[in-house]
Amino acid sequence: MYILKKRKSKIILKNLLFSFFILWILVHGISGKEKDKDKAKQKTSGLLWLPVIYYTPETEWAFGVGGMFYFRASGARLSTRPSNIGVFLVYTLKKQFMIDIAPDLYFKNEEYRLEGNISFMKFVDKFYGVGKDTSIDDEEEYTSRTSRFRIHLLKRIHPKLNFGVRYYFQHDKIVEVEKDGQLAGREILGSTEGTVSGLGLVMNWDTRDNIFCCSSGNYHQLSATLYRKTLGSDYNFTSYKLDLRKYVSLFSSHVLAFQGLVNFISGHPPLQMLALFGGESTMRGYYLGRYRDKNMIAFQMEYRMPLWKRIGLVGFIGYGDVAAKVSQFDLNNFKHSVGFGIRYMLNPEEKLNIRLDIGFGKGTTGVYFTASEAF
């Protein structure tokens, strides 16, 4: 496994150069369509489609197609956010397959919002064990099939405050494991087949000036979800999540972005529902799930600055860890993440960016080429 890790590190530069090549193609392919976009932006409904390409350590290169139908309800003000339904189909070089349907619907001029997703995936993943001290030598691959359904129904109770209920359903079946690996014994919760089904509450406060690339404001969300056998779950546990974000505008479009994440779980969750450390959005540089446990705390800061025309630069740092119990967190031994990235503003009106990030963690590196900001 150490040899495989060394080989993977040798191709990071190649992936980085290829990412720049793809970015160059996107820049030149889109520039010729600006006039068409200007003519279409007055439309209140329409159908969009686009090719999908991205790279993360969890998927390697991923290709597919995505589409979105957007519209406003009859009688809605033009200033309200449009409802949309997105559909994405993706296949990766790791022979993973994903299909996702994501509705985001607004009613009564944004007084009510129905948001969620329905997805199915066949995913080749990695497991290192449970806990904050797992070794890279314990890395093993497994393949699972997952069906997921999530829905949030929110009501605006203040111009910036929303409150509502959420339901979450997920069915996992691990269909392939490594011989003599930790999962081969089928003793770890979630290592065979199981369902989680939970009902909860969610509340968020949103004063951001833009949902894709924010330069000022706050976004705070708190949720608590109970997974119980009485709701059709195979496991009894409760998950509490707190996401705190603040964006500070400095000068000449320079922005400081802060995020604090907390995930506390009580009871007996399966391995798929443990707090996962790493990924393209949290603690970049670590494989998603490199560390997992019942509790996680993470702090992130990002400095965003324009460079030239639509191109920008980003530097980021992260600090966090997982633990079996809250009392076992040790700030002196938290893991770190540092890195930098390049941004290209694909859509200046909506401030939608394409990003290329390189993150460095403790003995690990991750390259991410995707759309939108990490947080």
State residue 44's pLDDT score.
Answer: 66
CB 335 within 8 A of CB 174: no
Single out the residue of 216, 169, 214, 217 nearest to residue 194, CA to CA: 169
The residue range of the domain holding 212 is 2-371
- CA–CA distance, 31 with 29 (Å, rounded to integer): 6
Counting the structural domains of the chain, the total is 1
Structure tokens at 73: 């309800």
The pLDDT of residue 148: 98
CA angle, residues 360, 317, 296, in degrees to nearest 5:
90
| Residue 35: CATH number of its domain | 2.40.160.50
- CA 119, 167, 299, 245 torsion-angle sign: positive
CB count within 10 Å of CB 309 equals 9
**What integer pLDDT is reported at residue 35 of this predicted model?**
44
Can you give the pLDDT at residue 20?
46
Mean pLDDT by groups of 10 residues along the chain of 375 residues? 43 46 45 45 70 93 91 71 89 96 90 95 96 95 97 94 97 95 93 97 94 91 98 98 97 94 98 97 97 98 95 97 97 96 86 92 94 90
Q: Are β-strands 83-92 and 97-107 bridged in parallel, bridged antiparallel, or unpaired?
A: antiparallel
Residue 182, helix vs strand vs coil: helix
Q: Give strand ranges (E) for 79-216.
A: 83-92, 97-107, 112-127, 140-158, 161-177, 193-206
CA 171 to CA 345: how far, in whole Å? 37
Tokens of 322: 């997982």
- Per DSSP, the three-state class of 23 is helix
Closest of 210, 223, 218, 106 to residue 163, by C-alpha: 223
Nearest C-alpha neighbor of 361 from the set 339, 330, 332: 339
pLDDT computed for residue 37 by the predictor? 47
Question: By the 8 A CB rule, do 240 and 296 touch?
Answer: no
